Amino acid sequence: MQTVIGIMGGSGLYEIAGLEGAEWVSVDTPWGAPSDHFFIGTLNGVRMVFLPRHGRGHVHSPSSVPYRANIDAMKRLGVTDLFSLSATGSFREEMAPGDFVVVDQFIDRTYAREKSFFGPGCVAHVSVAHPTCPRLSDAAQAAAEAEGIRVHRGGTYLAMEGPQFSTLAESKMYREIWNADVIGMTNMPEAKLAREAELCYASIAMVTDYDSWHPDHGEVDVTKIIATMTGNADKARGLVARLPGLLGADRADCPHGCDKALEFAILTRAEHRDADLVAKLDAVAGRML
Ligand SMILES: CSC[C@H]1O[C@H](OP(=O)(O)O)[C@H](O)[C@@H]1O
Ligand SMILES: Nc1ncnc2[nH]cnc12
């Protein structure tokens, strides 16, 4: 099987350069329109598919990002390995603005988003105990190190609804009681949907600020975030450019089973399935239906 790398670009990362034969391509999905067109090309012999999560020009808020359409379209385009890049606040002194964190766990505090491709007429329960793929996380870490980026391996990303930043009480609770390491507004339900779509998924948090808990840094200031984000985006482009060389063009089955997540997950018996929903699931779950 051929590797196809997907990149979900976060705030500040609306385009990438250096792809051969690249063009912006529009994709329709049964879940509506994705955030933007997809920038598709080849790097070091590996096909790459890039999508700015908020759309070029930052049109979508974290709550309005069409997460299902984005993941469905990635799958429809043949993506096998999906990397998320996101701006985050940090709850740890040592995870400083400008550092990257290859997160491996999430706490999902979002509530105003569609969180599953499945539902009445085709019910499925996938495991997200280990929501990120260690193989892709290894590649992300190696790419960051090769770029000279200060990178931390492992961490818990708290996904909040937003769009406002957290109160001081929330920030302290997430840090001191819930033991979260970074905070953002977009990795959920994205990571859950990637698992339902049997995509390997890794998330790279690009720290922009200390949220509001840090006594020396005061509250979150968007102008400072944007300045840090610009530097982070340049580093992210370097990291992305190294991924094809690290993953290679030929791909074996995921040793962690991300690409088999739906096996045994669909509970609705074939004769009871809703035909319209089954049709919508063609890209995401076609191999199981
Ligand atoms: C730029 S501050 C808030 C904004 O940035 C993050 O977006 P993304 O995860 O796509 O990089 C955060 O989650 C908020 O949406
Ligand atoms: N402090 C913060 N909280 C939530 N999302 C963020 N994105 C960047 N910084 C953030």
* Mean of pLDDT values over 48-67: 98
- Catalytic positions are 209, 211
User: How confident is the prediction for the chain on average, in pLDDT?
Assistant: 97
pLDDT given for residue 68 in this prediction: 98
Q: Is 142 annotated as a binding residue?
A: no
- In a mutational test of the pocket of ligand 1, which residue from 86, 106, 228 has the highest number of ligand atoms less than 8 Å from its CB? 86
Q: Is the CB of 239 under 6 A from ligand 1?
A: no
Whether pTM exceeds 0.90:
yes
Return the domain boundaries, the chain.
4-288
49 CB under 6 A from ligand 2? Answer: no
- pLDDT of residue 221 exceeding 90, the answer is no
214 labeled binding residue:
no
How far, in Å, from the CA of 170 to the mean position of ligand 1? 18
- Tell me: the pLDDT tens digits for 150-205? 999 999 999 999 999 999 999 999 999 999 999 999 999 999 999 999 999 999 99
In short, whether 53's Cβ falls inside 6 Å of ligand 1 is yes
| Residue-level pLDDT at 207 | 97
How many Cβ atoms sit within 10 Å of the Cβ of residue 177?
8
Task: Please report which confidence band the pLDDT of residue 220 belongs to, taking 50, 70 and 90 as the band edges.
Answer: confident
Distance between Cα 33 and ligand 1 center (Å): 20
Q: How far apart are CA 25 and CA 203, in angstroms?
A: 24
**Dihedral, CA of residue 53, residue 57, residue 61 and residue 62, to nearest 10:** 30
Q: Which fold has domain 4-288?
A: Rossmann fold (3.40.50)
Q: Is 188 in the pocket of ligand 2 (CB under 6 A)?
A: no
Q: With CA atoms as reference, report the closest residue to 196 among 101, 127, 134, 141.
A: 127
Residue 46 in this model has a pLDDT that exceeds 90: yes
C-beta 182 within 6 A of ligand 1? no
Chain segment 100-156, per-residue pLDDT in tens: 999 999 999 999 999 999 999 999 999 999 999 999 999 999 999 999 999 999 999
How many angstroms separate the alpha carbon of residue 258 from the centre of ligand 1? Answer: 26
Residues whose CB is less than 8 angstroms from the CB of residue 40 and which lie 6 or more positions away in sequence, other chains included: 19, 22, 23, 24, 25, 47, 48, 49, 50, 77
Q: Which atom of ligand 1 is nearest to the CA of 86?
A: 11
pLDDT of 67: 99
Mean pLDDT of 197-224: 94
The answer to the question of whether 92 is labelled as a binding residue is no
Q: Please give the share of the chain, as a percent, with pLDDT higher than 90.
A: 97
Res. 32: pLDDT tops 90: yes
201 is in an annotated binding site: no
CA of 10 to the centre of ligand 1 (A): 6
Q: Which pairing describes strands 38-43 and 20-25: parallel, antiparallel, or unpaired?
A: antiparallel
Atom from ligand 2 closest to the CA of residue 86: 7
For residue 171, the ligand closest to its alpha carbon is 2
**Is residue 206 in contact with ligand 2, taking CB distance under 6 Å?**
no
Mean pLDDT, rounded, for 77-96: 98
| pLDDT at residue 219 tops 90 | no
